[in-house]
Amino acid sequence: MLLIRYCTYTQNVSRHFMKYSRKQISKAGNTLLTSKSEEEINDALNLINDWRTSHLQPLKVMKRRLVKLLENNKISPILISQRLKRLTSIEYKLDLNPQMGLGGMQDVGGYRAVLKDVKDLYKLKNILESTNHYNRFEKCNDYVENPKTSGYRSIHYIYKYSSKVSEYDQLKVELQIKNKTST
């Protein structure tokens, strides 16, 4: 059974628009997978890469906030990293799950904290779940309590980034927290 926790607090709603709509992103992803036209594929790649790159600023800000949160709570991580999902990984994921659409992909921008032990993992989990975030909390997938069949164990949080800059506003970013013995 997959545990999904949804956000229950309210926040101000942004009144400006994202650079690309979910529909535009999904259409570009579909074009990338199905088109035979080199020009269409190149146009789709340009849009997708621009959209992927727009996740860098939210990642930088959110990672910095995580570092501060860890410092303030005296949690020493083994590793903190960030990444943009590679185009090959995006294509693979869309091939596996075509009905999702690229616009529905929640982990294009991701950052991770690897902690030394389960105690720190649960300490951070409790802090994250009791803190009012700058960004809108979307959901939590807890693969520590409910490991994947592969044995994978980690906790994933999905946030919608809040920004006055429309290019970044409402982009989804994933935070993964795990301890060093998680697979």
pLDDT confidence of residue 108: 96
Q: Is residue 10 part of a domain?
A: no
Could you please report the per-residue DSSP string of 45-68? Answer: HHHHHHHHHTTHHHHHHHHHHHHH
* Tokens 């429309």 sit on residue: 166
Task: Of 17, 25, 174, 48, give the one whose Cα is nearest residue 104.
Answer: 25
Per-residue pLDDT of the chain (183 residues; tens, 9 = 90+): 333 333 333 334 444 457 889 999 999 999 999 999 999 999 999 999 999 999 999 999 999 999 999 999 999 999 999 999 999 999 999 999 888 899 999 999 999 999 999 999 999 999 999 887 778 889 999 999 999 999 999 999 999 999 999 899 999 999 999 998 765
pLDDT digits (tens, 9 = 90+) for 151-163: 999 999 999 999 9
Q: Is residue 83 part of a domain?
A: yes
The CATH number linked to 147 is 3.30.460.10
- What are the phi and psi torsion angles at 176 (to 5°)? -115, 135
* Tokens 């999905």 sit on residue: 158
Tokens describing residue 9: 């607090």
Q: Is residue 25 part of a domain?
A: yes
Q: Is residue 8 part of a domain?
A: no
CA distance 139 to 5: 5
What is the tally of structural domains in the chain?
1
Q: Is residue 76 part of a domain?
A: yes
Intra-chain end-to-end CA distance of the chain, in Å:
19
Q: What is the pTM of this model?
A: 0.85
pLDDT digits (tens, 9 = 90+) for 12-30: 444 445 788 999 999 999 9
Distances (CA, A) of 71 to 3, 111, 155: 28, 17, 20
Q: Is residue 2 part of a domain?
A: no
* Tokens 């909390």 sit on residue: 137
Print the domain residue range for 65.
Answer: 18-179
Q: Is residue 3 part of a domain?
A: no
Tokens describing residue 59: 């990642």
Q: Is residue 95 part of a domain?
A: yes
